[in-house]
Amino acid sequence: MEKVTFKPYIPAEKTPLELTAVSVVVGMLLAILFGGANAYLGLRVGMTISASIPAAVISMAVIRVLLKRDSILENNMVQTIGSAGESVAAGCIFTLPAMFMWAQEWGTETPSMVEIAIVAFIGGVLGVLFMVPLRKALIVKEHGVLPYPEGTACAEILLAGEGKESSAKTIFAGLGLAAVYKFVTDGLKVFPSEIAYSFERFKGSEIGIDVLPALLGVGYICGYRVSAVLFAGSILMWFCILPCIAFYGADEVIFPATKMIQELSTGAMWSSFGRYIGAGALAAGGIISLVKALPLIVDTFKKSMVSFGGGHTALRTDKDLSLKFIIGGVIAMAALMVIVPVIPISPMGAALVVIFGFFFATVSSRIVGIVGSSNNPVSGMTIASLLFISIIFVANGNVGQEGMMAVIAIGSIICIVAAIAGDTSQDLKTGYILGATPVKQQMGELVGVFVSALTVGGVLYLLNAAWGFGSKELAAPQAMLMKMIVEGVITANLPWDLVFMGAAIAVAVELLELPVLAFAIGLYLPIYLTAPLFIGGLIRRIWEAKKYQSDKIKEAAINNGTLMASGMIAGEGIVGIVLALLAVLNVDTDISGTINLGEIGSIVAFIALICVMIYTIESGKKNA
- State the Cα–Cα distance between residues 296 and 462, nearest whole angstrom: 41
pLDDT of residue 370: 65
pLDDT at 292 over 80: no
Between 345 and 560, the higher pLDDT residue: 560
Per-residue pLDDT at 309? 54
- Pairing mode of beta strands 206-210, 194-198: antiparallel
Residue 377 binned pLDDT confidence (cut-offs 50, 70, 90): low
Cβ-proximal residues to 46 (8 Å cutoff; 6+ apart), any chain: 379, 475, 476, 477, 478, 521, 524, 525, 529
Q: Does residue 262 have a pLDDT over 70?
A: yes
Phi, psi of 70 (to 5 degrees): -115, 25
CB 515 within 8 A of CB 280: no
Three-state DSSP class for 196?
A: strand
Q: If you ran DSSP here, which 8-state letter would residue 165 be given?
A: -
Question: For 15-31, how does the pLDDT look when each residue is reduced to its tens digit (9 = 90+)?
Answer: 889 999 999 999 999 99
Domain locations along the chain: 21-176+273-508, 179-266+526-623
Of 292, 291, 244, 285, nearest to 503 (Cα)?
Answer: 285
The three-state (H, E, C) secondary structure of 310-354, written as one string: CCCCCCHHHCCCCHHHHHHHHHHHHHHHHHCCCCCCCHHHHHHHH
The residue ranking higher by pLDDT, 40 or 106, is 106
Q: How many CA atoms lie within 13 A of 303 on its CB side?
A: 18
Q: What is the per-residue pLDDT for 2?
A: 43
Poorest-pLDDT segment among 161-165, 448-452, 590-594, 614-618: 161-165
CA distance 170 to 162: 16
pLDDT class for 165, splitting at 50, 70, 90? low
CA–CA separation, 219 and 209 (whole Å): 13
Per-residue pLDDT of 172-219, as tens digits, reads 888 899 999 999 998 999 999 989 888 878 888 888 999 999 889 888
What gap in Å lies between CA 206 and CA 266, rounded to an integer?
Answer: 7
Q: Is the omega angle on the peptide bond into residue 256 within 30 degrees of 0, that is, cis? A: yes
- Grouping H, G, I as helix, E, B as strand and the rest as coil, residue 120 is helix
pLDDT in the model for residue 310: 52
pLDDT band at 125 (very low <50, low <70, confident <90, very high): very high
> Is pLDDT above 50 for 3?
no
Angle at 598 between CA 586 and CA 200, to 5 degrees: 110
Give the C-alpha separation, 79 to 426, whole Å: 11
Question: Tell me: the pLDDT tens digits for 52-108?
Answer: 777 777 887 788 777 888 789 999 999 999 988 888 988 898 899 999 999 989 988
Mean pLDDT score of the chain: 84
Task: Give the per-residue pLDDT at 240.
Answer: 93
pLDDT in tens, 480-508: 878 888 888 888 777 888 889 999 999 99
Helix axes 213-236, 598-619, angle to 10 degrees: 110
How far apart CA 495 and CA 502 sit, in angstroms, is: 11
Query: What is the chain's alpha carbon radius of gyration, rounded to the nearest angstrom?
Result: 23
Percent over 70 (pLDDT), the chain: 91
When comparing pLDDT for 256 and 375, which is higher?
256
> Terminus-to-terminus CA distance in the chain, angstroms?
40
Question: What phi, psi does 428 have (nearest 5°)?
Answer: -70, -30
What's residue 87's pLDDT? Answer: 87
Position 360 scores a pLDDT of 81
Q: What are the beta bridge partners of residue 206?
A: 198
Percent of the chain with pLDDT over 90: 30
- What is the Cα–Cα distance from 445 to 418, expressed in whole angstroms? 14
User: Which sign, positive or negative, has the C-alpha torsion 78, 79, 82, 85?
Assistant: negative
* DSSP state string for 355-403: HHHHHHHHHHHHHHHHH-GGG--HHHHHHHHHHHHHHHHHHTT--HHHH
pLDDT band at 137 (very low <50, low <70, confident <90, very high): confident
More confident residue, 296 or 457: 457
Q: How confident is the model at residue 305 (pLDDT cuts 50, 70, 90)?
A: low
Given this model, what pLDDT does residue 52 score? 75
Please give the average per-residue pLDDT across 380-401, as a whole number.
81
Q: So what's the pLDDT on residue 1?
A: 35
CA nearest to 95, candidates 360, 383, 424, 467: 383
pLDDT of residue 45: 64
Distance between CA 13 and CA 315 in Å, rounded? 8
